[in-house]
Amino acid sequence: SQQGEEDPQALSIQEGENATMNCSYKTSINNLQWYRQNSGRGLVHLILIRSNEREKHSGRLRVTLDTSKKSSSLLITASRAADTASYFCATLGGTDKLIFGTGTRLQVFP
């Protein structure tokens, strides 16, 4: 079963623009994580935000979490062509297993 739903499903922007992806989930969580996947490759962990945190930064990435709305957003600032990939949110609830959303495909044009 999918826990998270990402929005939009696909996003196309120019280099230098910011990219924002949203994730909604259904049940209470321990933490929420964002991953990146280049085409045909494994996933790479980007950032983890705990349920008692509201915002977290890592380089050009900014993640917010609103547990009252069961939603999170990932902002990539000053996008580069190399940021082209699929991005997934994943939630960790009461058991030690991540449940992934359906992903957002980001295309950054040079």
Partner 1 sequence: DGGITQSPKYLFRKEGQNVTLSCEQNLNHDAMYWYRQDPGQGLRLIYYSQIVNDFQKGDIAEGYSVSREKKESFPLTVTSAQKNPTAFYLCASSAGIRYGYTFGSGTRLTVV
Query: Could you list the residues that contact partner 1 (CB under 8 A)?
Result: 1-2, 30-31, 33, 35, 40-45, 48, 88, 92, 96-103
Output the smallest distance, CB 102 to partner 1, in A: 4
16 versus 50: smaller Cβ distance to partner 1: 50
8 versus 16: smaller Cβ distance to partner 1: 8
42 versus 110: smaller Cβ distance to partner 1: 42
Q: Is the link from the previous residue into 110 a cis peptide, with omega within 30 of 0? A: no
Output the smallest distance, CB 61 to partner 1, in A: 13
**Token duo for residue 4:** 């998270």
Query: Cα(85)–Cα(104) distance, rounded to whole angstroms?
Result: 8
**Token duo for residue 29:** 């969580």
In this structure, how many other beta carbons lie within 10 angstroms of the beta carbon of residue 47?
17
